[in-house]
Chains A and B, each alone.
Chain A
Amino acid sequence: MSAHSSRPAHGHRPGVLAVTQRGPPATALRRSTTASCSLLLSLACSFLPALACSPTVDVEQPIAFVHKIHVAEEEIPCTDCHIGAEEADHATIPLGEDCADCHEDGNGENGENAEEARLVEMLASGEPIPWKRVHKLREHVRFSHRRHVVAGQILCERCHGEVAERELPFSRPNISFNRELGMERCVACHLESGNPRAGIDCALCHR
């Protein structure tokens, strides 16, 4: 009885129903789809900078330094040039004096080449070599090379990849490194390393 009485007085026009199935809901769909996809994208964007800790464009290094020659062939240990690695937080880039030890007279062990000539004149000029820094960490991260290299006994390659094979200087952080430069990588390594000191306490790395 109640159901009967409360049925819409003028029964609905089929036309309206038809309309219902065609366009308009689609419009609604489009709008919401557009909205949601843009929302997703913008979310993605807002997460990106978390990973972006390094320059995303290639930088031009002053000299085409070949790690391969120095590390693989001459077997110079990394820490001879990157003096900070064992002593301090930052493994530094040699500014010239260290290069001069071998190169000041211009005849490096494997003969003359153009790059070395440029190096020599740079050294002669007395200016430090304008290396461009490519591996950067955000300010709130404190990464101590000493802690990892000396205390943790971790090999450079583990993080920096096969540097010994490189023909060219780093024009951007080497990919394997950069992709995982986010916290996830550190945490993963810290969790799997058996070292009791390598916990996941935030204060270990964050200042």
Chain B
Amino acid sequence: MNISRRRFLRLLSGAGVTISAHDWLFPRLEAYANERLAYGDLRGPGFTSFSRSVCRDCPNHCSLAMRKVDELPVGLRGTPWHPASLGALCVAGQSQMQALFDPDRLERPLQRPDAGAAAQAVEWDEGIQVLDERLRGLLSSGEGEKIAVVDGRTPSLGTRLLESWVRSIPGARYIPLRIEHALDRLVRQFLGGGAGGRLRFDLARAGTLLLVGSEILEHDGSPVTQMRTHGDRRENPLLSHAPTLYLGARQSPTAVQADYWIPCQPGREHEILLALAEALSKEHPQRDSILPEYARWISDALDPVGFARRYSLESVARRNRLDVEELEAAVRALRRFHPAVTLPGPGILRRPNGFSDAFAGLALNLWTDGFREEGGLSWGRDPLTDLTQELGLGPPGEADPASLSNILDPLFEIQRSPVDVLICVEANLVHELPGQDQIARALSHIPFVASFSTHEDETSRLSHVTVPTLIDLESWDLPSAAWGSPEASLQVQRPALVPVVEGRAVEDVVLGLASAGVAGPGFSPGAENWKDTVKAAVELIVERREGDLVDADGRRTLESASASAAVRSLVSGRSVWVAPSEPGARAEESEAGAEAVGGRGVRPERPPRLTDLAPNQLWLIPFDTPAVQRGRVLNRPMMMEISGMTHGLAWESWVEIHPVDARPRRIVTGDRVKIRGPRAEISTRAIVTRGVTPSVVAAPVGFGHEAFGSVAAGRGANPLKLPFAVLDKRTGAPAWGPVPVFLLKA
């Protein structure tokens, strides 16, 4: 066919257009292809190496192996040879990389002219200088008692160093902010045992388990170990029929795994426990000598008969809307499988009347020989103790449970601050203690607050100096053994990589201050800097049996013969318990307070009763989950996404409501609800579930940060805004309490 010129030109132009289009297209696609290359121009060979460290998010202290490809950290794994974790890691542990490389991390100290003012970053020495001057001033004027240090970290050589530094200053207070200690303290009063001891509990060999507000599978003690041993227990032919009972208001994952969930109204646990004790003690020789003790100290001034009547299974079941069969089944189980251990957990200690619940729980062990070396509750010494003594850090002192409340209570009623300097070490008081606004106000009255933290959190916003700290993966330490894991051994926490931010360990700061003379007499750390101190400690370990420091001394078994003595030893002495509900109680209470606190009594808090609820009012019970950890790990996107997963939520907090309460309020799962408490109002999502008891609203603690990095800030709501700021004087636990709230659809 003949090709005309016009046609030729058209073809040409057509082709030209396409080719030019191609020329435009191709380089872009090329660029697209190239920018998709995994590494830069010269990629490393891809050699994999591991460097180990320790996760300090919980007291289990699993060891971590940071996986590096060509020296570039790409992930964390557990190490199978760690006695407690056996290579497992929990959610929080795995998200540490995100904390490590979080762009919001503090790199230099922040200084504020006064609390709440805008911060400006200062040089390291400058920042520490401020702290130095303050402390020096108080030391010179001999007012050591005006110094208080709150430590939120898990026990380790580092905390011990800090503690001994504080204690070396006469009068200065060292306050560990760890709920486990509250329980330890309580048990110590039961079992005796030296300072720095640990409650030890061998899940694998226990018979019946009665868990009272104790989330052994979640975060109490060492989830990683507990989970595994729980599973093993299930498969152990001897124990496979030994039931696990859970007594609590919310069906937590632990309760899900338990064989029976005995739902009960918050704060009524002790009633049920006493009923069980009453039933169990029927043919016990000492019954008549001990019941009066109960009657006198725990509950009401009732004679044994009245006690027996009041706490008969039937009446208690009736009062708590349970059916008797359940309780009878529980009694049978507790009788049958020994040692039957009743484990009162932090869950109930965080209550205004947590003491009575915890006491009742512990007392129940008297009847079920729950205090036993094998399988039961027993007392173990912290392997660190001897070590620190050899290191010249002195013996660990007994922390006064009431000390924090002694500091804060006067401040609630605007009084003169009992301390001039408050140092919070990785303890976010404002966010983690109930009554946020109260705490915040209290802190603002303290002349000088310093906080050590990786991020700028709520507390550091109110502090005059904020000193950056290192993440566990970057720092040296010697974390102490896991709570309750018998085979725990000391392990060395090495930096897995060069610190991402130019920072200093808390201990280095402390040692710096000490070497500058800011320390009491008798503070003689092993070395000038922290790394050498740890190294010295490690050498000591190596002298001993290859670091395995498990020490069985100091256990004391409690024969049931001396049960009444035990009760006395528990209830007599410094912490006087009076049933707070009794009118006469408050007077005694205040006396008791008087000797303990010196000056004023605590704000009267009555143990919650169902009758306290106004019509269509509900109990708000804040709970703590491992994926949230009271908000300490919420600066990591992963945790934000995983924490609400089972409810199909992400980046959000929630409250769990029973359908019975949801229906009249026309609330369905996913709705936004307002929770109006006595002090504040929060708004969050509702999850309608039968996993809570009726007339109870359960909310996770930790969301609703106002600071703490861009990831955490402003996500979800913090239920701790609602309750009053109460710190239980006997346990030192923050009383999250059940709070009467109104719930309405937003």
Contact = CB atoms under 8 A, between A and B. Distances in A.
Physical contact A–B (CB less than 8 Å)? yes
Interface of A: 26, 30, 33-35, 37-38, 41-42, 45-46, 48-49, 52-53, 55-56, 83-84, 87-93, 95, 128, 131-133, 136-140
B373 to A, nearest CB: 52
A125 to B, nearest CB: 17
Contacts of A83: 45
Contacts of A138: 33, 36-37
A23 to B, nearest CB: 10
B21 interface: yes
A80 B37 CA distance: 26
Interface string B484-504: 000000000000000000000
B516 interface: no
Given A33-B11, A49-B29, A139-B37, 16 more contacts: A30-B11, A37-B18, A41-B22, A42-B21, A42-B22, A46-B25, A48-B29, A56-B30, A84-B47, A87-B47, A88-B45, A89-B45, A89-B46, A90-B45, A91-B45, A93-B42
Contacts of A136: 34, 37
A52 B44 contact: no
A133 B19 CA distance: 29
B561 interface: no
Nearest to A137: B37
B91 interface: no
B14 A38 contact: yes
B92 to A, nearest CB: 28
Contact of B14 (A34, A45, A52, A91): A34
B26 interface: yes
A24 B318 CA distance: 99
Interface string B30-58: 10111011100111111100000000000
Given A30-B7, A52-B26, A53-B33, A45 B21 contact: yes
B44 A92 contact: yes
Contact of A49 (B13, B18, B33, B45): B33
B15 interface: yes
Contact of A37 (B11, B22, B36, B45): B11
A166 to B, nearest CB: 20
A192 to B, nearest CB: 28
A34 B14 CA distance: 6
A89 B44 CA distance: 9
A84 B39 CA distance: 15
Contacts of A33: 11
B321 interface: no
What 7 A-B pairs have minimum CB-CB distances, sorted nearest first? A84-B45, A139-B36, A49-B29, A34-B14, A45-B22, A88-B45, A41-B18
Contacts of A34: 10-11, 13-14
B17 interface: yes
Contact of A45 (B7, B25, B37, B46): B25
A131 B34 contact: no
A98 to B, nearest CB: 12
Nearest to B13: A34
B45 A30 contact: no
A187 B86 CA distance: 42
A95 to B, nearest CB: 7
Nearest to B23: A45
Given A49-B29, A52-B30, A138-B33, A88 B46 contact: yes
B21 A48 contact: no
B42 A133 contact: yes
Q: Counting chain B CB atoms within 10 Å of each CB, which of A42, A83, A132 scores highest?
A: A42
A33 B7 CA distance: 10
B43 A92 contact: yes
A87 B11 CA distance: 55
Contacts of B29: 48-49, 52
A138 B41 CA distance: 13
Nearest to A207: B38
A15 to B, nearest CB: 22
Given A49-B30, A139-B37, A95 B42 contact: yes
Contacts of B44: 84, 90, 92
Contacts of B21: 42, 45
Contacts of A128: 42
Contacts of B25: 45-46
A83 B47 CA distance: 11
A19 B37 CA distance: 60
A93 B44 CA distance: 9
B46 A132 contact: no
B18 A42 contact: yes
A137 B42 CA distance: 12
B558 to A, nearest CB: 60
Contacts of A52: 26, 29-30, 33
A38 B32 CA distance: 24
Contacts of B17: 38
B739 to A, nearest CB: 51
Q: Counting chain B CB atoms within 10 Å of each CB, which of A26, A37, A56, A90 scores highest?
A: A90
25 contacts: A26-B7, A30-B6, A30-B10, A34-B10, A35-B14, A37-B11, A37-B14, A37-B18, A45-B21, A45-B22, A46-B25, A48-B29, A49-B33, A52-B33, A83-B45, A84-B47, A88-B46, A88-B47, A90-B44, A90-B46, A91-B45, A92-B42, A131-B42, A133-B43, A139-B37
B26 A48 contact: yes
A45 B33 contact: no
A30 B1 CA distance: 12
Contacts of A41: 15, 18-19, 22
Contacts of B47: 84, 87-88
A197 B399 CA distance: 64
Contacts of B26: 45, 48-49, 52
Q: Counting chain A CB atoms within 10 Å of each CB, which of B17, B18, B30, B34 scores highest?
A: B18
A75 B599 CA distance: 91
A128 B44 CA distance: 13
A48 B27 CA distance: 11
Interface in B454-509: none
Nearest to A46: B25
Contacts of B22: 41-42, 45, 48
